[in-house]
Chain A
Amino acid sequence: MKRRTFLGGAMAVAVVGQGSRALAQQPPIKIGMSMPQTGGLAGGGKASLLGIEIWRDDINAKGGLLGRKVELVVYDDKSSASETPAIYAKLVDVDKVDLLFAPYATVPTAPIMPFVKQRGLLLMGNFSFQVNSKVGHDMWFNNAPWGPADSWAASFLDIAQKAGGKNMALLTADQEFAQNLALTAREVAKKRNLPVVFDQSYPPNTVEFASIIRALKAAKPDIVYVASYPPDSAGILRAVNEIGIGDDVKIFGGGMVGLQFAAVMSNLGSLLNGVVNYNTWLPEPSMYFDGTKEFFEKYTKRAIEAKVDPLGYYLAPFGYAMGQMIDAAVGATKSLDQKGIAKYLRENEHKTIVGPIAFSADGERKETATLQAQFRGVKDKDIEQFRSSGKQVILFPDKLKTGNLISPFEAARK
């Protein structure tokens, strides 16, 4: 080897070495968030976080974002709305994170919206409902499949009216998410001249639902729309089974949180049969996209160790999808400029493991992908049954549909 060639090669190696050392020495990209890890929302929060952690590990295995490792800075908000403003102020001012993910759920997210808007920060929303409707922050992007505000209630009522429903009962938890849902349900019902024959909000910590279900049954509704949180959903379904709901009811369910979580589904077992409820991801043939299967293989292994929802359908893949969208936007803009990332997210459709996602101006999905699915043939005490298709038949949206409604509700329960 000629001396010049050798020297040139040695210098090249040295330069590359310096470069890679410099790359390795670059600080990680910090993504900050609070997440409910204790309190009523912890079940969902932990599963969501595991989905985001799987994305972090995948992206770091590929070399990170912009050649920098991704690090998550996570605090427990205890499922409390009063905790999140201070946590997000700390994430921004003390931890100096590069990007923000929102906590799981409406209640802890709502109070941080004015803060992120005031600071001009990008916020990737995590399954909250209508928290940006009054704030109007143009750098908010919700990973949830809800779509336009009224589509959730509209899709349920479409199915209900096709089944012959002529009036509606509303039973809702007295908290922000359920009340937002009830509000849109009332508006849709009003537009359709659908009389609301029962409209009750029950307070948090209601122990026994038998009395409420008796009152609801006495109103003889055709459609029963329920917006409840996990502890209540189980209580309501138990009471329905024990007290009965009446032969007039064509369809029951709609907005019951909890019926997507493995522990609750396993507890309730056959009591779930016939209920038509919203969902986000289900193991039906129409729901598999690039990477979905691989994600759930990883999730299933890690969930046991992390003691989180063993199925993880509801939130975990959407946590992963948040990361995928950030990956795409940072990769395309080649920077961490939040305005640039927001512009890219707003103007493009994004491929994720939960399907293509496009945002409208308010940061919610352009088109709803919220599923309405009916529980069928569910047996008691068997989590594994929910891994196979057919247990939750998708009735809406049409492009993901895997079956038709069985009605009335009492017949569907058999």
Chain B
Amino acid sequence: MDLLLGAVVLGVLLGCFYAAVSVGLSVSFGLLDVPHVAHPAFLVLASYGVYQLNESYDIDPLLAGLAITPLFFLFGLLAYRVYYETFEKRGSDAAVRGIAFFFGIAFIIEVLIILHFGVDQRSVSATYIGKSWRFGEFRIPIRQLVAFAVALGLTVLLAVYLSKTFMGRAIRAVAQDEEALRLMGANPVRIKQFAFGIATAVLGIAGALLIIVAPVEPTLDRAYIGRTFCVVVMAGLGSISGTLIAAIILGVAESIVLTMFGASWAPAISFAMLLGVLAVRPQGLLGR
């Protein structure tokens, strides 16, 4: 019983971390319909930015993540503009071909990281990494708690921003009916560009959490491409609160399987759950 309870607690923490690394994709892919397969590569790039600041100036990884957020916002604006001008503008099938564009970006990011940092693993140091809180026999890694708290905050903040602010509502509107928004005099492309910037800026913090939770290496994006898309699709495209719920379900399922049933089954169970959700609710858990 203790083992099961522990697995659930660790799974919730892991799930919140998965939510943090997926929530940007929920905006870019879920709301904006951009086939952003470079999302995990952006995430790893952010981790390396955090690593550089931590290594060179001894800045706390979370603060470093916050510091690179504006840069990532600008990077997002630029990436979307290039994607829009070269692919999206030319119609829907051109958008599908845009997948190649984002694959290309992911590959370039990977090569640039290798050229600059080499291929070795990198990690950061902070007082909360490598220690745990003890509750009797049960111990919780503090880095997981930090990731949990920040991820939860980040997801709630983004959900509030998208539902309560003028720009957030505009982003939701552009996702629902771009043409109607254009008729009302707004510029949907600008709104989408801004939203993509937000989705990328969020990765500054998510990248910090990634390198806090585990060391990173240039090709780590491949490990996250399945997980992040799985969370976003299971959540229901564009649903931020759904992303949090789906990520927690995934995290708990993984943790229980790893603890109780045999580690080899973890990926199979996750994807079986995704298929199960899609079979019962094709629109995802909280999709419309």
Interface residues of A (CB under 8 A from B): 37-40, 42-43, 46, 174, 200-208, 210-212, 214-215, 218, 230-231, 234-235, 238-239, 241-244, 258, 261-264, 267, 271, 307-309, 380-381
Give chain B residues whose Cβ lies under 8 Å from the Cβ of A243: 132, 139, 141
Within 8 A of A (CB), among B212-229: 213-215, 217-220, 222-223
When chains A and B are docked, how far (Å) is the Cα of A338 from the Cα of B40? 47
Give chain B residues whose Cβ lies under 8 Å from the Cβ of A241: 130, 132
Asked whether A207 lies within 8 Å of B14 as measured between CB atoms, the reply is: yes
Asked whether A262 lies within 8 Å of B120 as measured between CB atoms, the reply is: yes
> Given the interface contacts A242-B131, A242-B139, does A309 sit within 8 Å of B215 by beta carbon?
no
When chains A and B are docked, how far (Å) is the Cα of A271 from the Cα of B125? 13
When chains A and B are docked, how far (Å) is the Cα of A174 from the Cα of B130? 25
> Given the interface contacts A208-B213, A214-B10, A267-B121, does A39 sit within 8 Å of B219 by beta carbon?
yes
Decide if B6 is an interface residue (CB 8 Å cutoff).
yes
Asked whether A211 lies within 8 Å of B119 as measured between CB atoms, the reply is: no
Decide if B56 is an interface residue (CB 8 Å cutoff).
no
When chains A and B are docked, how far (Å) is the Cα of A382 from the Cα of B217? 20
Within 8 A of A (CB), among B87-141: 110-111, 114, 117-123, 125, 129-132, 139-141
When chains A and B are docked, how far (Å) is the Cα of A205 from the Cα of B219? 11
| Closest chain A residue, CB of each to CB of B216 | A231
Give chain A residues whose Cβ lies under 8 Å from the Cβ of B218: 38, 42
Asked whether A205 lies within 8 Å of B267 as measured between CB atoms, the reply is: yes
* Other-chain residue from A207, A263, A271 in contact with B223 (beta carbon distance below 8 A): A207
| Min distance, Cβ A414 to any Cβ of chain B, angstroms | 15
* Other-chain residue from B14, B17, B121 in contact with A264 (beta carbon distance below 8 A): B121
Asked whether B213 lies within 8 Å of A38 as measured between CB atoms, the reply is: no
Asked whether B219 lies within 8 Å of A212 as measured between CB atoms, the reply is: no
When chains A and B are docked, how far (Å) is the Cα of A271 from the Cα of B123? 14
Asked whether A208 lies within 8 Å of B214 as measured between CB atoms, the reply is: yes
Asked whether A200 lies within 8 Å of B262 as measured between CB atoms, the reply is: yes
Give chain A residues whose Cβ lies under 8 Å from the Cβ of B220: 231
Give chain B residues whose Cβ lies under 8 Å from the Cβ of A43: 118-121, 217
* Other-chain residue from B6, B111, B118, B262 in contact with A214 (beta carbon distance below 8 A): B6
Decide if B167 is an interface residue (CB 8 Å cutoff).
no
Pick out which of these stretches binds chain A: B177-185, B188-196, B253-261, B278-286.
B253-261
| Min distance, Cβ A287 to any Cβ of chain B, angstroms | 23
Give chain A residues whose Cβ lies under 8 Å from the Cβ of B14: 207-208
Asked whether A38 lies within 8 Å of B110 as measured between CB atoms, the reply is: yes
When chains A and B are docked, how far (Å) is the Cα of A206 from the Cα of B223? 9
Give chain A residues whose Cβ lies under 8 Å from the Cβ of B10: 208, 210-211, 214
Within 8 A of A (CB), among B1-24: 3, 6-7, 10-11, 14, 17
| Min distance, Cβ B114 to any Cβ of chain A, angstroms | 6
| Min distance, Cβ A264 to any Cβ of chain B, angstroms | 6
| Min distance, Cβ B11 to any Cβ of chain A, angstroms | 7
Give chain B residues whose Cβ lies under 8 Å from the Cβ of A40: 217, 219
> Given the interface contacts A38-B119, A242-B139, does A203 sit within 8 Å of B266 by beta carbon?
yes
Give chain A residues whose Cβ lies under 8 Å from the Cβ of B142: 242
| Min distance, Cβ B253 to any Cβ of chain A, angstroms | 11
> Given the interface contacts A38-B114, A215-B3, A235-B214, does A267 sit within 8 Å of B141 by beta carbon?
no
> Given the interface contacts A42-B119, A242-B141, does A206 sit within 8 Å of B263 by beta carbon?
yes
Give chain B residues whose Cβ lies under 8 Å from the Cβ of A267: 121-123, 215
When chains A and B are docked, how far (Å) is the Cα of A262 from the Cα of B142? 26
| Min distance, Cβ B230 to any Cβ of chain A, angstroms | 12
17 A–B contact pairs at CB < 8 A?
Answer: A42-B218, A200-B264, A202-B258, A208-B213, A208-B255, A210-B141, A212-B259, A214-B259, A231-B121, A231-B215, A234-B214, A241-B132, A243-B139, A244-B139, A258-B121, A264-B120, A308-B118
When chains A and B are docked, how far (Å) is the Cα of A212 from the Cα of B119? 27
Asked whether B139 lies within 8 Å of A234 as measured between CB atoms, the reply is: no
When chains A and B are docked, how far (Å) is the Cα of A43 from the Cα of B110? 14
> Given the interface contacts A241-B130, A267-B122, A309-B120, does A200 sit within 8 Å of B263 by beta carbon?
yes
Asked whether A242 lies within 8 Å of B130 as measured between CB atoms, the reply is: yes
Give chain B residues whose Cβ lies under 8 Å from the Cβ of A202: 258, 263-264, 266
Decide if B144 is an interface residue (CB 8 Å cutoff).
yes
Task: Select the residue from A40, A201, A204 with max chain B CB neighbours within 10 A.
Answer: A40
| Min distance, Cβ B244 to any Cβ of chain A, angstroms | 17
| Min distance, Cβ B274 to any Cβ of chain A, angstroms | 16
| Min distance, Cβ A400 to any Cβ of chain B, angstroms | 27
Give chain B residues whose Cβ lies under 8 Å from the Cβ of A46: 118-119
